[in-house]
Amino acid sequence: MPKQYDEPVSLKQTLTPEDYTEAFAQVAFFAAPMRRRSVRALVCVTVAAVAASFLPLCSGHGAARAVAAAVAVVFAVAAAAVWFLGPVLEKRRAEKWFRSCPLAALPSEITLTGQSAVIVTSCERLTEYWTDFTICVETDRLIAVAGGRERFLLVLKKDGLPPEEAEKLSGLMRYVFDGRWAGTAPRKGGS
Amino acid sequence: MEPVTLNFAMTREDFTNGAAARLKMQTGGTYRAVTRLAGAALILTGCVLFAFHFTAGRPVQWLAGLCAVFGAFLLFLGLQVEETAVRRMASARFEKGLCGVAAQEVVFREDGAEFRSERYEAKIPYEMFYAAYADETTVLLCTASDESRIIPKRTMSLEEQERVEHLLAAKLNRKFKQEGAREWTK
């Protein structure tokens, strides 16, 4: 492991519902590309378009025309629902989870090494190993790591960290996750 | 109250029982009743469609058959199949080593529950739990809507089980559900 990651990286943070919902949304976006709202909306629009294309062919058959029209309308509405309501429902789901877990909102001290993360709060001490996680997503504000054994989503806030510490944290996570890293923060150099 | 201290290693059966308990906790009496009612309604619909077919000569016998078969499945087998599927998936996760660390210690104290394992140590006051559930094999302590700690009842004597359940009922009130207990008797 490169020498710059021999020293553990520590941070203290308190998660807010906004942090958690942003992390949740980012992980959902990158971990399941086929379930993105653009893909699902496109599938619905395609089905609607195919059903609508049958309408001229069914001019002599009332029942078939009605079925084709119904399918077109239903899937067009579904496409709109997926596009406009999808993010709202996802945010609500994340907020609901965060409200259900007061332990996640406690102030925490997190120590990160090349092998693991240790999260300590007033009630809990969790040790998570990087090999258990499936994906790491980095944005300008935070790093979200999904797939933990003890708690599924680990959120690391870059906000409030000194720039050198934030860079060190970012570098460590890119090194550890390598091919499992994804994100909207710019890559700087090699990991 | 004297604390109840349990030391155990999670077995495959404990893990699958825990998964089944979580399913029962999440799918309450209403869900089960609605599933069975839906099954009965589908069977009735199938009968009505068969009657249409035989009396009015409508070609709906296949639809009637589908309704009747699906209705019978929902009414008699649906919930058992769901539980079997959940147990199978839990067993597969256990085989892959995804059930977490096996050996752990759990202590039920007057003011909260303590957990100790290789990866997890906690002292959690009861008011911070999301919910708790007990059935004939398992006690579940939920730290979030999709997170729970499985405590097999085989690790407790009968007296300890009663003490733990009374403690959870007193501390968690309506957040504690027991399989088979009715709301007004808790």
The answer to whether A123 contacts chain B (CB < 8 Å) is yes
The predicted-structure confidence for B153-179, as pLDDT tens digits, reads as follows 999 999 999 999 999 999 998 899 887
Least CB-CB distance to A149: which of B100, B144, B146? B100
For residue A132, give the chain B residue with the closest CA: B98
Tokens of B145: 């809507």
Please compute the mean of the pLDDT values over residues A108-124 and round it to a whole number: 95
In the predicted model, is pLDDT for residue A61 greater than 90? no
Nearest CA-CA distance, residue B74 and chain A, Å: 26
pLDDT (tens digit per residue) in B127-149: 999 999 999 999 999 999 989 99
Nearest-Å Rg of the Cα atoms of chain B is 22
Residue B129: per-residue pLDDT: 95
Closest chain A residue to the Cα of B117, Cα to Cα: A126
* pLDDT for the residue numbered B185: 40
H/E run at residue B6: strand B4-9
Asked whether residue A190 carries a pLDDT value surpassing 50, the answer given is: no
- pLDDT confidence tier of residue B100, bands split at 50, 70 and 90: low
- pLDDT for B117 equals 93
Q: Which residue has the tokens 């968690």?
A: B172
Residue B125 to residue A123, Cβ atoms within 8 A: yes
Residue in A101, A127, A128 closest to B147 by CB: A101
What pLDDT score was predicted for residue B172? 92
CA–CA distance, A46 with A38 (Å, rounded to integer)? 12
Other CB atoms within a 10 A radius of the CB of residue A38 amount to: 11
The answer to whether A73 contacts chain B (CB < 8 Å) is no
- Residue from A23, A25, A22, A31 nearest A135 by CA: A31
Residue A33 above 50 pLDDT?
yes
Q: How far apart are the first and last CA of chain B?
A: 20
Among A101, A125, A127, whose Cβ lies nearest the Cβ of B144? Answer: A101
- The sign of the dihedral angle between the CA atoms of B175, B178, B181, B185 is negative
Contact partners, residue B138, CB within 8 Å, separation at least 6: B14, B17, B18, B20, B21, B150, B151, B152, B153
Q: Report the distance separating Cα A31 and Cα A25, nearest Å.
A: 10
Task: Assess B145–A contact: CB distance below 8 Å, yes or no.
Answer: yes
* pLDDT of res. B35: 93
CATH topology of domain B4-14+101-185: PH-domain like (2.30.29)
CA dist., res. B149 & res. B14, Å (int) = 11
Q: Is B125 on the interface with A (CB under 8 A)?
A: yes
Q: Which CATH architecture has domain A3-183?
A: Roll (2.30)
Three-state secondary-structure class, residue A109: strand
pTM: 0.82
DSSP state of A123: S
Residue A113, SS3 per DSSP: coil
What rounded mean pLDDT belongs to chain B? 90
A80: Cα within 13 Å, side-chain hemisphere: 5
Cross-chain Cβ contact B119/A102 below 8 Å = no
Is ipTM strictly over 0.95? no
Residue A4 one-letter amino acid: Q
Q: How far is A170 from chain B (nearest CA, A)?
A: 24
A96 touching chain B per CB within 8 A: yes
- Look-up: residue for tokens 């190993």? A129
The beta-strand segments (E) located in B65-175 are: 103-108, 112-117, 120-125, 131-134, 138-144, 147-152
B98 touches chain A (CB under 8 A): yes
What is the average pLDDT score of chain A? Answer: 90
- Nearest-CA residue of chain A relative to B144? A101
Break chain B into its structural domains and give their ranges. Answer: 4-14+101-185, 20-95
Contacts of A126 in chain B (CB under 8 A): 119-120
Q: How far is CA A103 from CA A22, A119, B15, B101, in A?
A: 18, 11, 23, 20
Q: Measure in Å the smallest separation between the Cα of A145 and chain B Cα atoms.
A: 17
